[in-house]
Amino acid sequence: MSTQARSGKRVVIVGGGAAGLGCAYSLLTEYRRLGGTTEAYLPGEPAAGLQVLLLEGKEQLGGRIGSERFGEFCIETGPATLTDSAPGLGPLLEQLGLTEELVYADDSAGQRYLFRQGQLRPLPRRPSDVLLSDALSLQARLRLMMEPVIPQPGWRPFAKKCAAATAPAESPLPNQDQTVGEFCRHRLGHRVTAELIEPLLGGIFAGDIDKLSLHSALPKLSQLVRSHGSLLTGLMREHQESQARPGAGPSAQKPTGARSARICGFRRGLGQLPLSLGQAIVAAGGTVSLGTEVLALQHSTGWQLQLTEQTLTADELVLAVPPPAAARLLSATDAELASTLHSIPMVPVIAISLAWPKEQVPHPLDGFGFLLAHQEGLQLLGVQFMTSVLPLCQQVPRGQVMLRALYGGAHHPSVLALEDGMLLEQVRRDLKLTLGILAAPRFIHIQRWPQAIEQYELGHADKLRTIAARCATLGSLHTTGAAYAGVGVPDVLRHGQQLGAALAAKLWAQRTSASDSGAGAEGARK
């Protein structure tokens, strides 16, 4: 990473998680495509007129994605699965040579459970079945039956006639943002929200539904109401349409022979994805530097990055790190931008992987896992049945099963302060209560994430607009990551890739313009 003379533009990407890796890979491949050199370069050969450097403070790539092996056990330290229906994911995996490493969950992985009133209850797989499911109380189901006749916000005369007893006196207008909790209580009632919506959202954001923004976190819900007049009707119609598409349903076959086209992973863990992306970046002519921490930033005509032993310059800077880290780096450059980034909350999560001989676990573990309603009084967010979800992954020795218990989130951040011993006592009590497991686990691994998931709270869209405006003012600063376009791995990857493609187009246009100007000046001299 020399700071001396260089040719062309230098792009520095800070952060080697999914967003930073996706950005670097897309920038290099799209820049070469624009230059017509997609096939005509040697692996590792720098792209003409472009230097791409990716800096990662840790000694491995992946950010919150990671797979670690301990003897015969392989655990996921962060996200455990993907959904292959995510736009653009399939082509990317094919380019990386990961298609053959994919393993798909069988149809039973589509089953999820809800722990309510001391029992694991199967959640319905189809929206239409929810009215007959004992996953919800009878009172909740009766209220849910009324949802199709609950008027859209703003339809006050009808609202007073048919829903005065169940809907709030006032609710936001259709285009006005509101919390997920406000929306769901208005449409579905308090019981459905507490018994079903809170646990489901806990499994995605680990957040507080009375703070999460509907438009930012779950925009599709309000869209379904606007399109169909009813959330339940919209969900049922979407489900019917998805089942009618070619290749949908349990008979759909993947190369592995598995039935589900949705849930997937890699034979050697999800950590294969960042590892393959890093190798592809180097092969495309980029540089990946591990264990390289950026201590400070300065901005004038370009960017100066203060590292431990040197200063690095950059023409374009991408911050692919969580908002608090980006805020710290930018505090001396743009106080307003740093303050806005700092205002995006993050919640902690602890993932505890445990394994037992199969016969010591009474539950058949026939599904993806289970969630819990807050009213159950446990700090447990949920439990994933790891060996059941992806049985073809190399996770545990033969005859054993692995679970992953998740704690923390917006409602129980203090769990992060528990020592390992106290945490293990708690998880054993919780698993005894929920799954009837009495035996001590044969394997234990605790992964703590003090800042695990960005929270799209009310006003999040305004924050993103402010961030974009401040970055545009600086001109050569860009941000990407889970704060901007979804917290799932495919969402984060896609946002990074889109930024990389946009940067490639910008830099190629600048190079072309400079070449044209040079040719024009030379012609004038002749």
The enclosing domain of 140 has a CATH number of 1.10.3110.10
Q: Are residues 485 and 421 in the same domain?
A: no
What's the distance, CA 449 to chain centroid?
Answer: 14
Pairing of strands 82-83, 119-122: unpaired
At 76, which CATH number?
3.90.660.20
In the prediction, which pLDDT does 2 show? Answer: 42
Report pLDDT digits (tens) over 122-144. Answer: 999 888 888 889 999 999 999 99
Percentage of the chain beyond pLDDT 90 is: 68
Q: Are residues 336 and 484 in the same domain?
A: yes
Q: Does the pLDDT of residue 444 top 80, yes or no?
A: yes
Structural domain contains residue 308: yes
Q: Tell me the average pLDDT across 302-328.
A: 96
Structural domain contains residue 129: no
Q: Are residues 374 and 444 in the same domain?
A: yes
- Asked which of 454, 472, 499 is the last residue of a domain, the reply is 454
Sheet strands side by side (includes 369-372): 119-122, 112-116, 369-372, 380-385, 400-408, 346-357, 443-454
What's the distance, CA 51 to chain centroid?
Answer: 28
Q: Are residues 365 and 449 in the same domain?
A: yes
Q: Does the pLDDT of residue 29 top 50, yes or no?
A: yes
Q: Are residues 329 and 470 in the same domain?
A: yes
Under the banding of pLDDT at 50, 70 and 90, the label for residue 245 is low
Q: Are residues 283 and 320 in the same domain?
A: yes
- pTM for the full predicted model: 0.89
Rounded CA separation 282/493 (Å): 18
Structural domain contains residue 120: no
Structural domain contains residue 526: no
In the prediction, which pLDDT does 402 show? Answer: 96
Q: Are residues 329 and 463 in the same domain?
A: yes
Q: Which three-class secondary structure state does DSSP give residue 372?
A: strand
Pairing of strands 82-83, 73-76: unpaired
Report pLDDT digits (tens) over 62-75. Answer: 999 999 999 999 99
Q: Tell me the average pLDDT across 30-51.
A: 78
Report pLDDT digits (tens) over 143-194. Answer: 999 999 888 665 444 444 444 444 444 445 556 899 999 999 999 999 999 9
Report pLDDT digits (tens) over 448-498. Answer: 999 999 999 999 999 999 999 999 999 999 999 999 999 999 999 999 999
In the prediction, which pLDDT does 156 show? Answer: 46
Structural domain contains residue 77: yes
Q: Are residues 441 and 463 in the same domain?
A: no
- How many structural domains comprise the chain? 3
In the prediction, which pLDDT does 42 show? Answer: 66
Q: Are residues 222 and 281 in the same domain?
A: no
Rg (CA), the chain: 25
Domain carrying residue 499 = 9-63+271-344+459-521
Report pLDDT digits (tens) over 161-172. Answer: 444 444 444 445
Q: Are residues 214 and 280 in the same domain?
A: no
Q: Are residues 155 and 209 in the same domain?
A: yes
Under the banding of pLDDT at 50, 70 and 90, the label for residue 260 is very low
- Asked which of 404, 431, 454 is the last residue of a domain, the reply is 454
Q: Are residues 14 and 78 in the same domain?
A: no
Report pLDDT digits (tens) over 332-365. Answer: 999 999 999 999 999 999 999 999 999 999 999 9
On average, the pLDDT of the chain sits at 88
- Asked which of 454, 480, 513 is the last residue of a domain, the reply is 454
Report pLDDT digits (tens) over 287-300. Answer: 999 999 999 999 98
Rounded CA separation 371/35 (Å): 50
Structural domain contains residue 168: yes
Structural domain contains residue 143: yes
Structural domain contains residue 175: yes
CB atoms closer than 10 angstroms to residue 441: 22
Q: Tell me the average pLDDT across 115-119.
A: 92
